[in-house]
Amino acid sequence: MSFSASAPSASAELDHLVIVAPSLAAGARFVARAIGVKMMPGGEHPYMGTHNLLLRLGDATYLEVIAINPAVLGPGRPRWFALDRLAAGDEPSLATWVARTSDIGWARAASLTNLGSIETMRRGSFRWRITIPTDGGLVHGGLVPSLIQWDSAMHPAASMPDSGCSLAALEAFTANPRLLREQLDSLGLSESVAISAYRGTHSAPKLLAHINTPAGKRLLSS
């Protein structure tokens, strides 16, 4: 029986946060500086030519650092999470988040935003389906999540060691909070994120994750 957080519906809930980095080493340093915690090894994604590091944030929530795997050939299509747009000297950042659903086809159809195609993925013993835009980009600058449906018996976070960390809150800043709220409402996700409007001239979408750590509350930012 595959992992399911709820009965089938169009709604979703936060599954994990995604930090993109030009390399796993750079991503690990970014997390260590920001929240003072060491990431643990993850694995490889053969279909996308990427690999990751992981950090448990709860029974069914985690933080992921993802980067292009230089040891394998490219996938012949745009990689997910806009990784192809990262340069070697770019700083890692909290790029987006992923929301879990028990019926990804239904949830994608309910979305007011085009989330892309549903792709089947694997990493080791884990199997899942995930939405990926055709251009590999981030939806609404990363503020609208990808959808994921786990087809494995256990959620990945359940096999990770307890990090002493948890997600306290996720904030999204945008020039159009009403549009973002409508987009997230269509997925039942508006309560998962605190949505705020930018003030002044700065209008690039921005995510902030408040993380409870053994040393107190820390911040991850896009």
Whether the predicted pLDDT of 193 surpasses 90 = yes
Tokens 């996700």 correspond to 189
| Within-domain flag for 65 | yes
Residues 89 and 135 in one domain: yes
Last residue of a domain, one of 143, 159, 175: 159
CATH number, domain of 81, equals: 3.10.180.10
| Within-domain flag for 1 | no
| Within-domain flag for 2 | no
Whether the predicted pLDDT of 2 surpasses 50 = no
Segment 162-189 mean pLDDT: 95
d(CA 85, CA 125): 29
Q: Residue 188 sits in which domain range?
A: 166-221
Strand (E) or helix (H) holding 32:
helix 24-35
Last residue of a domain, one of 111, 136, 159: 159
| Within-domain flag for 29 | yes
Rounded to 5°, the CA angle 180-208-141 comes to 45
Whether the predicted pLDDT of 5 surpasses 50 = no
Residue 201 tokens read as 């001239």
Model pLDDT, residue 198: 80
| Within-domain flag for 183 | yes
Residues 56 and 152 in one domain: yes
pTM reported for the whole predicted model: 0.93
Q: Give tens-digit pLDDT for 144-172.
A: 999 999 998 899 999 999 999 999 999 99
Residues 39 and 93 in one domain: yes
Residues 127 and 103 in one domain: yes
Confidence of residue 3 (pLDDT cuts 50, 70, 90): very low
d(CA 94, CA 119): 23
Residues 103 and 187 in one domain: no
Residue 20 tokens read as 């993109």
Supply the mean pLDDT for the chain. Answer: 92
Residue 5: count other Cβ atoms within 10 Å of its Cβ.
Answer: 15
Residues 20 and 73 in one domain: yes
Segment 211-220 mean pLDDT: 96
| Within-domain flag for 63 | yes
State how many domains the chain has.
Answer: 2
d(CA 111, CA 119): 17
Model pLDDT, residue 65: 98
